[in-house]
Amino acid sequence: MPRKNDLERKALQLVFEASSEGLLQSDMWKALGVTSREGSRLALKFEEKGAVERRKVLHNGRWTYKLFSQTKLVTLESIKGCPCIVCEDLDKCFEGGQISPLNCQPLSLWMVPSTAEEDA
Ligand code: SF4
């Protein structure tokens, strides 16, 4: 029997790999080799954490749930222009430090470009 964290990781991976098709909750617990009760518990836990969306679907004449991953892939495009990439203070920047991403203006402006443009 896989460890709890391994089981959760594997379950999330299965849902992620199902992409936009979604994964029947029953297919998840069957693939994991756990009971339907354990599979339902995992799916509910993932939903609570926002890791998956559970959608009620009619499958073979029965109501069940399909699971959709809420994990988004990080793409190079998504970090394009981030000031941290070329920042000279990157190695000294950390939460609670003298230099911190929590009070970095360049980072704030990059994260909310439309607001920055409106303020300019
Ligand atoms: S948060 Fe600001 S100071 Fe920190 S690494 Fe990024 S750009 Fe540099």
Do 92 and 53 have their domain in common?
A: no
Lowest mean pLDDT among 27-36, 37-46, 66-75: 66-75
Q: Above 80 in pLDDT, residue 3?
A: no
42 residue type, one letter: L
Q: Is the CB of 44 under 6 A from ligand 1?
A: no
Q: What is the pLDDT of residue 2?
A: 56
Q: What average pLDDT does this structure show over 57-76?
A: 92
Do 8 and 65 have their domain in common?
A: yes
Do 63 and 94 have their domain in common?
A: no
- What global pTM score does this model have? 0.62
CA of 46 to the centre of ligand 1 (A): 32
Do 19 and 54 have their domain in common?
A: yes
pLDDT tens, 22-32?
999 999 999 99
For residue 49, what pLDDT band results from cuts at 50, 70 and 90? very high
pLDDT tens, 100-111?
999 999 999 998
- Ligand 1 atom 2 nearest Cα: 104
Do 8 and 45 have their domain in common?
A: yes
Q: Above 70 in pLDDT, residue 51?
A: yes
Map residue 67 onto helix, strand or coil.
strand
Q: Residue 24 is part of a domain; what is its CATH number?
A: 1.10.10.10
Do 56 and 82 have their domain in common?
A: no
Do 64 and 80 have their domain in common?
A: no
Domain total of the chain? 2
Q: Is the CB of 106 under 6 A from ligand 1?
A: yes
Q: Which atom of ligand 1 is nearest the CA belonging to 104?
A: 2
Do 17 and 60 have their domain in common?
A: yes
Name residue 67's beta-bridge partners.
23, 54
Residues 6+ apart with CB under 8 A from 111: none
Do 29 and 63 have their domain in common?
A: yes
Domain that holds residue 40: 4-69
Q: Which atom of ligand 1 is nearest the CA belonging to 100?
A: 4
Q: Which atom of ligand 1 is nearest the CA belonging to 83?
A: 7
